[in-house]
Amino acid sequence: MRGWMAALALTMGLFSAPVALAAETARFNWLEYQGADPSDAVVTAKPGEYRNPILNGFYPDPSITRVGEDYYLVTSTFSWFPGIPVFHSRDLVNWTQIGNAIDRPDQLDFKALGLSRGVFAPAIDYHDGTFYILNTCVDCGGNFIITAKDPKGPWSNPVWLPDLVGGIDPSIFFDEDGRTYILNNGPPEGQPLYEGHRAIWVQELDLKSMKTIGPRKVLVNGGVDLSTKPIWIEGPHIFKKDGYYYLICAEGGTAINHSQVVLRGTSPMGPFTPAPSNPILTQRDLDPARPFPITSAGHADFVVTPKGEWWATFLAIRPYGDDLYNTGRETFLMPVRWVDGWPRMTEPGQAIPLTHAKPDLPPQPVPKVPTTGAFQVRDEFDGDRLPPYWMMARNPKGDWYRLSDGALTLTLQPVGLSDYGNPAFWARRQQHHNATITTELVFTPGRAGDRAGLAAVQSDENWMRFTIEKEGGQLLARVAARAGKDVPADGKVLGSAPVKAAASYRLRITARGGDYDFDVAADGADWQRVLTGADGTILSTKKAGGFIGVMVGPFASRAR
């Protein structure tokens, strides 16, 4: 079977053929994730309350829409596949992933892009029986629309929007008069006045041809006050209320100065006037030494319940140190208040709450796979497909994995974690500061350089690897890491411990904020510590750069 067909088949659950275990394969019988945050021991959601974030871990740039009593939410996944998770809820608190909008290799090609390129900031909407997701494939095609009748999929192949060249973060607005508009971030007219100078553009869309028509127009130049040199106005959404068109945008970049601003006008083509009390959401004015800080909040999208309550999903960060976080940007929920005709989320100096009263919606059961608070999830690999929260780096290349006989079996590949390729690596998100990831591995390395175990990846240049290997005829449990481009591509060995030949090994990675521990156990014996307190800050966005959070899971590679 051709590589991409095999990838599609496993992703969609079309086969689970048995695989003979050999030296060139590694069998993972199960993987267990357990996580909690320091705030979990102190802050408890009372009856009738929910906990923030509503989606722990690498779920940035949330966009939300309502259809009747159902809510659907999507987030960014950059160069991970399958991409753009689609979540469903009926109470805005309990969310279940029902699919991935990018689940076929022929929809988008992430090529050899860095893991923080690819799909940025999807926007989901619904109109007249059809779901729409607008998105940008950065360095892999530009701006596009995909559609579906069922949000679970299948989603269409992309329809490209060439008029939006140079832009990102497109969204769609369906006006009451039947006209449709596309908004996006793009370069300003003329030469930028400073670094980060961007603009919000609007253009009409013909729904029948799915092509932009008519002139493009700048709605916001730079931000709400160009004289202050605002940076990265982005993530635009338009909605209509009480005769006004409201335009909400993120402003200030994705770091600690991130915020949400609002403007309004009497036409979707503008002009738009900023609110007198912008920003309507930020945490940049709070004491960084406060307990359990939430920072870098912005990129909001609004939704209205059937009873007329306004709520917003948005991204924010929970650092464990000085802007250090390994969990990526997460999805939060807050109510939206209306004051004198303007929406507000936080007042100056107001902290985003870790708990809050739930929306006035019918109560719903807790999802089978938790997304918030402290939790434990065990994957037995006994189904005909992996759960939809599992992803790989970039598009699948080759037949390197199988689900069979109650296990995930990887065929060793000559592709490493630094190769900007598609390594034999299936991963799930690290969703807490304090997390333990454990697996049972059946593997015997055939030669030096063959290895299998667990990997924790933030980027192609920043990762950790915990594997069973062979060196000089000796079996070892070995920890290696790469911390930047100056480190050799195969990483630097941080620690090793001899292990006996065994029918199976348990491997455990324990994250404690910025420290990571590594333990091994052979044939059900007691745990043996291989390395304590490795520097996990190399996996933080602050040190690694980019826009994602740590992805961790089974990995295998062979000597080259």
Residue 296's closest CA among 313, 279, 284?
A: 284
3-state secondary structure of 102: strand
Catalytic residue among 40, 103, 163, 234: 234
Catalytic residue among 61, 103, 125, 379: 61
For residue 495, the Cα-to-chain-centroid distance in whole angstroms is 30
Six token digits for residue 28: 């993972």
Neighbours of 494 (CB within 10 A): 18
The amino acid occupying position 390 is: W
350 Cβ neighbours under 8 A, 6+ residues apart = none
348 Cβ neighbours under 8 A, 6+ residues apart = 285
The CA distances from residue 441 to 16, 445, 520, in Å, are 19, 12, 10
The amino acid occupying position 463 is: W
Strand partners, 240: 245
Question: Strands, DSSP E only, in 13-92?
Answer: 25-36, 49-51, 63-67, 70-74, 80-81, 83-89
Give the whole-angstrom CA distance, residue 294 versus residue 514.
17
Give the whole-angstrom CA distance, residue 250 versus residue 316.
12
3-state secondary structure of 41: helix
61 catalytic? Reply is: yes
How big, in percent rounded to 5, are the helix, strand and coil portions of the chain? 5, 45, 50
3-state secondary structure of 539: helix
User: Catalytic site residues?
Assistant: 61, 234
